Amino acid sequence: MMCGLEIHVQLETDSKLFCDCPTNYQDAPANTNICPVCLNQPGAKPHPTNEKALENAIMIALMLNCEIDKDVIYFMRKHYDYPDLPSGYQRTSVPIGIKGELNGIRIREIHAEEDPGQYKPDRGTVNFNRSGIPLVEIVTEPDIKSPTEARNFLKELIRVLQYSGAARGEGTMRADVNISINGGNRVEMKNVNSIKGAYKALNYELIRQKNMLRRGVEVKQETRAYVEATQRTVAMRLKEDADDYRFITDPDLPPMKISDETIERILKTMPEAPHNKVKRFIEEYGIDEESAKVLTSELDLAIAYEEIVKEIEPKFAAKWMRDELKRVLSYNKLDFSDSGISAKDLIEFLGMLQAKEITTKAGQRIIEQMPNNDKSPKEIAEEMGLLGVVKEDEVLAAVKQAIEENPKAVEDYLSGQKASINFLVGQVMRLTRGKADPGETVKLLRENIE
Ligand code: ZN
Ligand code: MN
């Protein structure tokens, strides 16, 4: 299977690409964020291109390791007839970035273009609030070899876009998915608007094309629509080449030159892309790839980690943040950024662990209390009576009490049911309020029973 993607996501701007209409169309009543320009009324001329939109597209290109085409940028008219586009053409820029790469998938080019309106064929209505909102289009080479690979690539791409702050999220994504198998004709699926949808559409199309080949039927070059409700693809139109779009330069828009200063400024201010950050974390902090991926899964978490490792041993911090912090966050359905946990809190918390002021077990209980808590980790530890590791003689007393009070568990253990020791460990933990070291407890229990 060979698959290439053309992904559209809305760029983050206050106003549209060629007029001053606002871009917060989701909350607005239908056909209110509009003007003659974005309605493509006869005679309405576009305003000069929204520079913020272009700069955002450049930033995305740079984060995806593209070369920036420093020549002149201009807009083309791409013609097609559909009710969402009264002018009969969509304005789309020549490539802004070329030859990029993300997770081993080559990126052919990136350009900016305008969003059409929203047409509902079943009702015959069009809402033009979306018309003219700037989009970034990201075109990959046909390097994707399976539906799973497509899904992983899209997940990572959306993560880069969220990191960049230059584009909106998966909710505004629309992808065209190209697929061919065994070097056969290419089928393009339109209308795929989620990562899950792309995965399902590819799986469906892969099976459909395999079945055709098995029956000796040639796969036609065609455009198909992916229908979310039925999770199938249906034929739209046959064979479509670039020629059919009759591209011409838009004479209403002046060409623009991207200056070296602009690129320098963007390079200085843009966040490091997560896939580049993963590589750096592995090299700089000596942590494994899995930890690096978890720690960079959210920009605020990555920033906090780099703050924390100034004071805490990097591998130790990575392990706790990857396992325990992530566990607590996902249990509470929180992102790190809205957990109320700061880098300072984590430094205090991990510091107590590192200095053995609390046990691992106590740490697990303290971190559970940390989201949206006004108290510091130390205050939480004090309040829960978890500060201080219990001395060995206290643990020994608890071990003896646990053995005495639970003869059945002891008997089971001695008759070969080794797992019953876990029950006794639990009793010791209860008696010491979680302050005993689990490893030490097991050792003491064995010695005393035997
Ligand atoms: Zn407008
Ligand atoms: Mn496009």
Is-contact 55 36, C-beta < 8 A? no
Residues 45, 151: one domain?
yes
Question: Closest-lying ligand to the alpha carbon of 91?
Answer: 2
Residues 79, 62: one domain?
yes
> Residues 99-149: pLDDT tens digits?
999 989 999 999 999 999 999 988 999 999 999 999 999 999 999 999 999
Residues 311, 411: one domain?
no
Residues 325, 344: one domain?
yes
Is residue 34 predicted with pLDDT exceeding 90? yes
Question: Closest-lying ligand to the alpha carbon of 115?
Answer: 2
> Residues 411-421: pLDDT tens digits?
999 888 888 88
Domain count, the chain: 3
Distance 55 CA to ligand 2 centre (A): 18
Question: Closest-lying ligand to the alpha carbon of 47?
Answer: 1
Distance 14 CA to ligand 1 centre (A): 12
Domain extent at residue 429: 392-449
Is-contact 369 380, C-beta < 8 A? yes
Distance 131 CA to ligand 1 centre (A): 8
Residue at a domain's end among 265, 297, 312: 265
Residue at a domain's end among 362, 383, 404: 383
The CATH number of the domain holding residue 424 is 1.10.10.410
Percent of the chain at pLDDT exceeding 90: 68
Residue at a domain's end among 383, 404, 426: 383
Residues 199, 68: one domain?
yes
Which residues are placed with Cβ below 5 angstroms of ligand 2, an ion? 137
- Residue 266, CA distances (Å) to 111, 165, 182 in order: 17, 12, 42
Question: Closest-lying ligand to the alpha carbon of 17?
Answer: 1
Distance 179 CA to ligand 2 centre (A): 17
Residues 136, 248: one domain?
yes
Distance 262 CA to ligand 1 centre (A): 27
d(CA 72, CA 258): 7
Residues 402, 378: one domain?
no
> Residues 179-224: pLDDT tens digits?
999 888 899 998 799 999 999 999 999 999 999 999 999 888 888 8
Residues 351, 402: one domain?
no
Distance 230 CA to ligand 2 centre (A): 25
Banded pLDDT at 240 (limits 50, 70, 90):
low
Beta bridge partners of 280: none
Distance 250 CA to ligand 2 centre (A): 16
Residues 256, 361: one domain?
no
Residues 225, 260: one domain?
yes
Residues 298, 157: one domain?
no
Distance 302 CA to ligand 1 centre (A): 39
Distance 242 CA to ligand 1 centre (A): 28
Distance 34 CA to ligand 1 centre (A): 4
Residues 362, 410: one domain?
no
Distance 356 CA to ligand 2 centre (A): 57
d(CA 425, CA 404): 13
d(CA 272, CA 306): 13
> Residues 332-359: pLDDT tens digits?
999 999 999 999 999 999 999 998 888 8
Burial of 316 (0-12, 13-18, 19+ CB in 10 A): middle
Distance 197 CA to ligand 1 centre (A): 31
Distance 40 CA to ligand 1 centre (A): 9
If one compares 292 and 225, the residue with the highest pLDDT of the two is 292
